[in-house]
Amino acid sequence: MTTPIVSLTDAGKSYNKLDALQSVTMTLGEGEVLGLFGHNGAGKTTMMKLILGVISPSRGQVAVMGMAPDSKEAWHCRTKVGYLPENVSFYEQLTGLEVLTYFAKLKGFNKKQAIDLLEQVGITHAMKRQVKTYSKGMRQRLGLAQAFIGEPKLLLLDEPTVGLDPIATGDFYRTVDQLKSQGSSVILCSHVLPGVEQHIDRAMILSSGQLLAMGSLAELRHQAALPVEIKAHGLNGAIASHDHLANFISPVCSQTLNVPEAEKISVLKTLLGFDNIEDIHVESANLEQVYQHYLALHAQKQQAKGQS
């Protein structure tokens, strides 16, 4: 069996009485992309810091490429890890090229790689300017270039698209797809859910340090039993007068049906049986809806606990 790139076994971190991360068990394989989602203070950065080895677990084990990342023996693994912190900050007086060359050299790479990466993130035109003159988006691009040095085996990206314009966001996700196809593993956390789902293999949802759900979007959708939205055009009142279909009519639109996944095909067959059907649009729950579902479920459980 191959060693996972990252594995957490009942790993948690506490600060005095606060459980920043309760007990998380997970593995990340080669070429896998994991999305880490949760509100402010959920424990996302804590989990990344445990994986980086900059903090040690209060309980359980963390392993990166088979080693405890906070151990001395893991030093050579660190050159294979790229990290973009939540708030990037650089030496303001240096130029973008000087900053990136410095970080490249720390990892055993040269200026040529720094120049190539600056081109990849689209700031070649500003590479000879001091970082203090950079806009927020340009700093973020420089941060990403820094994380990409040496085509890392593991990339940890905390809010990678903050401050990026739509073009740069698209370029960023293309780079993630490319790194994944080359075998790099990626953990990224983001508060911006639209646009992320097609680039991740699995999602992990955290709240107040607690792991609420983890799996592929299809698995989470299935587990959550969220309905599929089916919009049927051209039927006017026919749906409301149909015994079976009428059960699924959305409270907000009479042409939209909210159908359990298990009944999707039978409902579609029924709709196709209508002579005047003009079009059918089928949409499964997206990442945002899945995320909201798990958070609402968690809030309900907390409330019930508080009342008992």
Residues 49 and 170: their CA atoms lie apart, in Å, by 26
DSSP 2: P
Query: 59-64 and 6-15 as β-strands: parallel, antiparallel, unpaired?
Result: antiparallel
Positions 63 through 92 that interact with ligand ATP (CB under 6 A) = 86
Residues 185 and 128: their CA atoms lie apart, in Å, by 32
User: Which CB sits closer to ligand ATP, 58 or 289?
Assistant: 58
Residue type, 241: S
Kindly tell me the sign of the dihedral angle through the C-alpha atoms of 166, 114, 145, 171: positive
Does residue 24 interact with ligand ATP by CB under 6 A?
A: no
Task: Give the 3-state secondary structure of residue 274.
Answer: coil
Contact (CB, 8 A) for 44 and 206:
yes
Residues 123 and 66: their CA atoms lie apart, in Å, by 36
- Among 3, 10, 15, 236, interactor with ligand ATP by CB under 6 A: 15
| Window contacting ligand ATP (CB under 6 A); options: 42-50, 132-140, 221-229, 268-276 | 42-50
- Among 11, 33, 34, 42, interactor with ligand ATP by CB under 6 A: 42
DSSP 129: S
Q: Find the helix or strand (DSSP H, E) in which 180 lies.
A: helix 166-181
- Among 2, 40, 276, 307, interactor with ligand ATP by CB under 6 A: 40
User: Which CB sits closer to ligand ATP, 42 or 131?
Assistant: 42
- Among 4, 35, 43, 69, interactor with ligand ATP by CB under 6 A: 43
Does residue 141 interact with ligand ATP by CB under 6 A?
A: no
Residues 267 and 245: their CA atoms lie apart, in Å, by 7
User: Which CB sits closer to ligand ATP, 57 or 96?
Assistant: 57
| Window contacting ligand ATP (CB under 6 A); options: 2-10, 12-20, 112-120, 232-240 | 12-20
User: Which CB sits closer to ligand ATP, 18 or 192?
Assistant: 18
- State in angstroms the smallest separation of the CB of 295 from ligand ATP: 13
Query: Interface residues with ligand ATP (CB under 6 A)?
Result: 15, 18, 20, 38, 40-46, 86
